[in-house]
Amino acid sequence: MKTNVAAWKKGIKTGIPIALGYFAVSFSFGILCKQAALNPFEAVLMSATNLTSAGQFAGLSMITAMATIIEIAIAQLIINSRYLLMSFSLSQKISADTPIYHRLLMSYGITDELFGVSIAQPGKLNPYFMYGVMTVAVPGWSLGTLFGVISGNIFPARITSALSIALYGMLLAVIIPPAKHHKIVAGVIVISMLLSSIFAMIPALQTISSAVKIILISVVVAGCAAFFFPIKEEEA
């Protein structure tokens, strides 16, 4: 019980910069919602139930473009497919006897940033850590949308621009420290970034959606690394 409260508090502390970053990003999403003629209720409903940046930006443009329901569902499936890998990874990060209700609740919070900080926790993951992060990150994401849709752009452009990089900074803070002590991980990170850049630069590859690109590179690079450099029991 005590450890759960401690984990929850730690999660809140970790979640505050995530919440601020989310606020900045979802603020711009809210502005787009207003331009797309969504009312504040619809905009906040989308942020609170979807909790995903790329999926929502794509979904919004498809709603505006009057896409069919099947098209929207398939687009979400592809754009958010990386969560499948993250969820699979998390299934091994929590203890095997974690009850189903924890699994159902935690799943809602699987975003790039929440996954990043959760997987970076030492040892097994306590679900309450994730709940702590969600306690601040979900309101950050939803309120940012609300403010964006009702107020329009009130922040100076310089502030929005500086805040937009916060989420990337956090993700780097998650992957860099382990790379310091683990040469293979460092190599995996460099190769992944190189491949990602190649995909972004070569015209023939640019047509591939970023979701497909993420999955493709993840499976190939992690697969090769696992095959050539399997992790011994005590490291994993």
Of 1 and 66, the one with the shorter C-beta distance to another protein is: 66
The C-alpha atoms of residue 43 and residue 56 are separated, in whole angstroms, by 10
Among 1, 207, 227, 234, indicate the residue that binds another protein (CB under 8 A).
227
Site size for another protein, by CB under 8 A? 97
Phi first, then psi, for residue 51 (nearest 5°) are 50, 50
For residue 11, give both structure tokens.
Answer: 């999660």
Query: Does residue 231 belong to the site contacting another protein (CB under 8 A)?
Result: yes
- State which of residues 6, 10, 34, 222 lies at the interface with another protein (CB under 8 A): 222
Q: Is 5 in the site for another protein (CB under 8 A)?
A: no
b/e map 117-145, b = 16+ CB within 10 Å:
bbbebeeebbbbbbbbbbbbbbbbbbbbb
| 81 part of the interface to another protein, by CB under 8 A | yes
Residue 107 CB, nearest approach to another protein (Å): 4
Give dist(CA 172, CA 166) in Å, integer. 10
For another protein, the binding residues in 137-196 under the rule CB under 8 A are 157-159, 161-180, 185, 188-189, 192-193, 195-196
* 185 contacts 176 by C-beta, under 8 angstroms: no
Q: Residues 16 to 55: which contact another protein by CB under 8 A?
A: 16-17, 21, 38, 42, 45-46, 49-52, 55
Segment contacting another protein by CB under 8 A, of 4-12, 136-144, 145-153, 215-223: 215-223
Nearest to 46 by CA among 29, 66, 25: 29
